[in-house]
Structure 1
Amino acid sequence: MIATRNAGLFATLISGFAILTGCSTTSDAPQPAATAAKNYFSDWPERADPATVGRRIASNFVARGFDFQLNPTHRWIIYPEVCAWYGALQVAQLTEDQGLKQQLIGKFDQFRTPEGANRLSPRSHVDYRITGVVPLEIYLINGDPSYLTLGRDFADKQWESTTPDGITTEARYWSDDLYMLPVLQVQAYRATKDPKYLDRVALTMVAYLDKLQQQNGLFLHSPDSPFYWGRGNGWVAAGMAEVLSVLPPEHRHYKRILQGYRSMMAGLLKYQGTDGLWLQLIDQSDFWPETSGSAMFTFALVEGVKRGWLEAPTYGPAARKAWLGLVAYVDTAANIRETVVGTNKASKEVGPDLDVQKKYYFDRPRKTGDLHGQSPMMWTAAALLR
């Protein structure tokens, strides 16, 4: 009798915990986050400790100059810098590293002057609107309303011009958009709790899923470049994780987005390499492991396991293997290797011949320390620390 009562009490406590955290004890949340974290995301080798790896890569970012200081063809902050800054701020906050946090916030001071503000692009383009993510993250850390005003302005201007169905006219229906658009609106919601930002991003996400997602759960780079490019899919995976992290389960678009996310994660699982990574073209076995897309997938998997969107016994080991595989690519200067450079759709660069297109993806240069790879390593470190 006592054992039965204790089991019932335990089940009640777990159920109450799930309600408080927004999780379900049904198949939508197969394992409590604390259990999943303990089973799969603890006891790291020293080299793979998320706090250590995250702080190292964040400090690497602090020490860098901006691209516009080094490249005369660029006038403004560019999106890879924003993505890295966002991850670095989260790592600093979660590790309670006050020095790192102040360095990262101080890095924004120059853009709060009239001269520096000219380095914040006014263009109506997803790659520049995303700049608002950084001041919104700083506001969430220090509560300074001037950062909120600046960041929210980027988010609201993004929706000043919309299509008849309510989606910003900045939408291009490229896979990249499914991170660039959502993360800004998600940040605006986190900072204001105004549901209009959730409605915007959920509507957009569903429209993109309906248009771009394939039967296997993955996303073509474009209809005329019909290849499953790693980082293009990585942007989608990371964007869906960001949206699901704030979207209430009762929202009218929640189930559709969760379905799209789970379909993608199941599709990715089939192609994970024995080293934990995914390839530059995900389903092409003659290609090479690529770190930026792999790190984005790892972030999405970790979030899914810890938040109960995915079956932990299936996806937890995959996420752990991916993180361990990725940290092996981080060198002594905290730069990650084997990150593909910016990649346009192949059809635009080399024409319609699919064999030529495939060679284009294979031959793309790889860099060490490219922010496309540094950024999702910090997102993942933060996800593991949360």
Structure 2
Amino acid sequence: METDLGKRDVRITFSSYDFLGYFIPGVTFITISLISEYFFKYFFLPSDKSILPLYILIEKIKGYFLTPESHWSIEIIILVLIIILSYSIGHLIGSISSFTLDRLFVGKVLKYPYIILLKIKSNVEISISDKFRKSLVLISFLFHFILILSLFLKQMVLIYILIILIFILLLLMFYNYLVNNKKPILRNIFYYLEKSYSFEIPLIKLSFNNLINFIRTISVNFLGIYKPFTDKFIAKFNYAYKRVFKSTPAEDGNLVYWFTRNYIIDKKPNFNSILEYWFNLYSFTRNLSTSLFLSYMYSIVIIQINLNSESRLINEFFSLNYGANAYKFFVLLILFASFGMLLRYYYLFYSHFSKYLYRTFYYIVSQENKKRKK
């Protein structure tokens, strides 16, 4: 394939995403975490010994710097420092979201869109068995379920649940070790574990597996997620891909993304601007989802630390009064907002960015073939 991409001057322009894509998730984390601490103090009136880092920091800044006698330049300096801090935290959140959501959650659990869209079956890419992938999802659901229970159950009950979860996790890890090392004799010992691992135990099959099927059905029918291209288009795409790169998508694996993206940049840079838009948008929603989830985790940690430090708060927190229920609802709302943005992220990644990428590549190649025939 002849290309002059390497001969052209490449200019990387600054976009609003380069700042807002990190600043907004950073300031979201700080703001929601601070609001969570203020709500906790307002509803439960903890003592001065309570551990509320952000609340204490803000109060000290107000007391030392934001007094009626302070100069206006102090406010400007504090504002600039907050912007820099939010932007820096946003970059940290971006790194966390890239690793956890993109590489682990999408790469290992949901599968990258090109694998589903193009119906690729590659031993290189699909290195984790479906059974182990389902177990990771199950453990993730159990983890979130236990965190939610921590808002309604006292610590001793939570500790027992955590012990059971850790025990199940260790069994799953040991079972996976036996399978990978092909030890059939020891594997028979874990017959029932294998059954649960395969989601064949009726209780698990009726609950978790059906929940996953329900979510997948909703995703396919209403969001278009997990719906591949038609066989006719896949055949045309594979033919065009092989004509350009002298290989197949199954052979190249995740290089399919990079090859097709660079080809579009080389041949039709104006089409790439649309790809950049979708890329920035799904990256922003991914970062925002992580920011919300970290705020939720921060709230859970603050709750547990303060409940353990002040026994007086335990009965009040686990009561059914208005303040306790309102605060728990607020914390759960953060979690659900995080899941909503996570779904939005994968929807944009799958249904907009990835579909546009591969359709555009095929369109450009087909148009070039028509010109050659004339």
Band of TM-score, shorter chain: under 0.3
Larger gyration radius, structure 1 or structure 2: 2
Normalising by structure 1, we get a TM-score of: 0.25
> Whose RCO is larger (CA < 8 A, sep 6+)?
2
Structure with the bigger percentage of helix: 2
Normalising by structure 2, we get a TM-score of: 0.25
